[in-house]
Chains A and B, each alone.
Chain A
Amino acid sequence: MRQEPYYITVKELVEAGRDHIPDELISATHLIYSSPATLAFNSPGAQGFGVKRAGLAIPGSVMLLVGPGCCGRNTTILSETGGYSDRFFFYVMDETDIVTGRHLTSIPQAVQEICQALPTMPSVVMICMTCVDALLGTDMERVCRKAEKKVGIPVRPCYMYALTREGRKPPMVAVRQAIYSLLEPAEKHLDTVNLMGHFAPLIDDCELYDLLHQMGLKNINEISRCRTFQDYKDMAQANFNLILNPESRLAAQELQERLHIPSAELTRLYQIDKIGRQYHIFAKALGTSIDDTAYRAEAEQAVQQFLSAHKDTVVAIGEMMNANAFELSLALARYGLKVAEVYGNLAAEDFVYLRQLAAISPDTQVYTNLSPTMLYYNCSNQDVDVTIGKDAAYYHPGSVNVPWNEERQPFGYAGVTHLFRQLSEALS
């Protein structure tokens, strides 16, 4: 037995092509290793935003999780996080519930008891369902309507169906639909836009705010900056939605159909020239123009300052962080750094980055956190100066690490600036 982790070079990957991704990089074909590096994949709610925490994005909402006890277990962590301890409730299902469907008749009463136990009435009760009800084919919409009649406030389902992870509507897509489902038709305000995709705001100094102002958009809504339920409901006034995370596409599509709010999409990038190009195309599509020179110069300066001190830095890049691992690898390689290893969950769409990366860094090794062979990963086989991402830190515990997984979301030039400043700081 070789006892070696599986990897493939970027060159080999690109030569094989997007239609021939090796099985080892396709999670559905093998057992999935459960190491600290896979926590974001296996238990996305354990850190950052999973379905449970995301489902509470609406101000004043509470959540009733309906499922076997095991499904609510990691909620203990969330309950300890500030502001969540009084917002989670559990209906713990047993075998009888599953066989008889008894829990469905109990939910309205449970919702009523929760509302009575709270000092103030919540704005909405989210009912979080699990794999069990997915398999039972439960019509939770109907159950929620019954509960709504009982308590007189909105009750909405959200679906934590890990079984559908690689389907058309995986849990983190479905929860985004759920949290925007309470928006109702409202008079449109031409100067209002919603930023969709994240459950925490963009970093405060992100240039996107200013650029949108330059385009004439005065009111920029983000669900995480809504302080009241009315703030949330005012999102229905938006002229358009700006998608910043592809997992929001279906939610935006639904808002377009239901509330006639169109949408546009911007991708989070770390290549400065591509960031600029994307902004200018976007502005042009809106029939306007922008001046991004100061922001671009600041990002370029941060990169140059880093390179002047650390130009020979060897980097390993994980996926538990605020970037597409392959796009970030390409960006860093284009800036002149050596990207030794990437730990990523590869998708066919990533080949747009891989093809370019193969041209400038063909020997970059691509690993997958999910492969059972990662049990044998040995960091001594590769000298790495700095790791980016919490998972990458697990593989190279002796290297400098920039977790880059803060909840406040980096984007655009500001993202580049902050990342390189953090890298400089970490290495100095």
Chain B
Amino acid sequence: MKGLWKYISPFAPDQSGAAAVLYELGGIIVICDAGGCAGNVCGFDEPRWFTRRSAIFSAGLRDMDAILGRDDKLIEKLCHAAKQIDASFAAIIGTPVPSVIGTDYKALQRMAEKKLDLPIVTIDTTGMQLYDNGSEKAWLALFETFAAPVDVVDEGMLAVIGATPLDMNGLDAGQQLQQQLTQEGWDKVICYGMGATLDDIRLAGRAAKNLVVAPAGLRSAQFLQERFGTPYEVRYPLAAAPWQAACAEAQSKNILVIHQQVLANSLRTALRQHGAADVTVATWFQLKDELKEEQDIALAEEDDLVQLVRQGEFDMILGDGSFKKALPFYEGTYIDVPHFAVSGRM
């Protein structure tokens, strides 16, 4: 039945994706909610929350704020916080409540900009989309707002777009990427979202090349190509341990990979190099046309996965372990490739 999920819990929503992008940048981040969404964003979808402080706040909306559309009260609270918190920008991230009452985020932005001497970013997430949609909006808003013209391009500099804990397979993914890409010959590696600063975003035009590691970063890479002429490449350069196990058994197999599209595509390349017969990528998240192969599947409902696996005759499935609960009938090899946005595991 459309909308009914009996076995798999909901995935990280768009507001979590947006917050993850902004988490390390030193801004005031306001989740425009009653409290529960901010609690979920931090308490569940943001693993850095326990080890690294960030100025994430809930707007603390109450029923009359929503009914009467008290945007002025929200701006008043934001101004009060800005007097207390040393921040380089402020961001307002949407949730279901402002979505239902039709909040005008552009108007919120203008109101805030008039009262604050800070750049303001608003992200019209709704809580009804998935995390990658929120991340994509946040990446784009950041580069559109902050990336300024530069005089020179650093030919030894590579910038990574799309990395947040929701998409990567480790909290130290930023360092891992730096290490891996330096070994590949780059002098300087900037990892937006995991290690980079707001100044790095401002100087985005200096990168000789951008590397997209998750679909949410693709539109920003295209935007930076248009604005600065920076070329981009799309691949996930970090091979995780489960990959090796899968590759060792891949010979002549019909394999289904369920993950974020860029990681899944890179995993497919590795599986093919180890003799896999057919590899299909399926995802509930963004399936970009320019990155997909003909057989790849966009999943929308829980039932879609059940149907795909029943009909697909897959010898092996690679995906987050939590999907197994929906597939009790599946008798092939299932290899757990954790996806934080799905199960909160890395």
Kindly specify which of A30-38, A253-261, A307-315, A316-324 makes contact with the partner chain: A30-38
A94 in contact with B3 given A167-B63, A372-B55 (CB within 8 Å): yes
B41 to chain A, nearest CB (A): 7
A161 neighbours in B (Cβ, 8 Å): 63
A75 and B97 form a contact (CB under 8 A):
no
A163 and B4 form a contact (CB under 8 A):
no
Decide yes or no whether A400 CB sits under 8 A from chain B: no
Within 92-109 of A, Cβ neighbours of B (below 8 Å) are at 92-95, 97-98, 103, 106, 109
Within 334-365 of A, Cβ neighbours of B (below 8 Å) are at none
Decide yes or no whether A41 CB sits under 8 A from chain B: yes
Decide yes or no whether B80 CB sits under 8 A from chain A: yes
Decide yes or no whether A200 CB sits under 8 A from chain B: no
B29 to chain A, nearest CB (A): 9
A42 and B13 form a contact (CB under 8 A):
no
Decide yes or no whether B197 CB sits under 8 A from chain A: no
Within 158-198 of A, Cβ neighbours of B (below 8 Å) are at 160-167
- Give A106 to B77 CA distance when docked, in angstroms: 39
Residue-wise, chain A 66-92 has the 8 Å CB interface mask toward B (1 for contact) of: 011111111111010000010011111
A42 in contact with B38 given A3-B86, A131-B97 (CB within 8 Å): yes
- Give A148 to B38 CA distance when docked, in angstroms: 34
Q: Give the interface size class of chain B.
A: 35 or more
B40 and A46 form a contact (CB under 8 A):
yes
B4 and A34 form a contact (CB under 8 A):
no
Decide yes or no whether A113 CB sits under 8 A from chain B: yes
A132 neighbours in B (Cβ, 8 Å): 96-97, 100
B15 neighbours in A (Cβ, 8 Å): 70
A68 and B127 form a contact (CB under 8 A):
yes
A95 in contact with B126 given A110-B1, A164-B62 (CB within 8 Å): yes
B13 neighbours in A (Cβ, 8 Å): 68-70, 73
- Give A90 to B35 CA distance when docked, in angstroms: 21
Decide yes or no whether A332 CB sits under 8 A from chain B: no
Partner pick for A91 among B3, B31, B95, B126, CB 8 A cutoff: B3
B101 and A135 form a contact (CB under 8 A):
yes
Q: Which residue of A lies closest to B342 (CB)?
A: A76
A42 and B5 form a contact (CB under 8 A):
no
A134 and B38 form a contact (CB under 8 A):
no
A9 neighbours in B (Cβ, 8 Å): none
B148 to chain A, nearest CB (A): 25
Decide yes or no whether B308 CB sits under 8 A from chain A: no
B127 and A34 form a contact (CB under 8 A):
no
Contacts A/B (CB < 8 Å), 29 sampled: A30-B60, A30-B77, A31-B30, A34-B39, A34-B56, A34-B58, A42-B39, A69-B11, A70-B14, A70-B95, A70-B96, A71-B10, A72-B10, A73-B13, A73-B44, A74-B43, A76-B44, A77-B44, A93-B3, A106-B1, A113-B1, A130-B96, A131-B34, A131-B36, A161-B63, A162-B33, A163-B63, A163-B97, A164-B63
Residues on A facing B (Cβ under 8 Å): 1-3, 6, 27-36, 38-39, 41-46, 67-77, 79, 85, 88-95, 97-98, 103, 106, 109-110, 113-114, 117, 130-132, 134-136, 160-167, 372-373, 375
What 10 pairs between A and B have smallest CB-CB spacing?
A43-B39, A42-B39, A70-B13, A162-B34, A69-B10, A31-B57, A70-B127, A76-B9, A72-B10, A90-B5
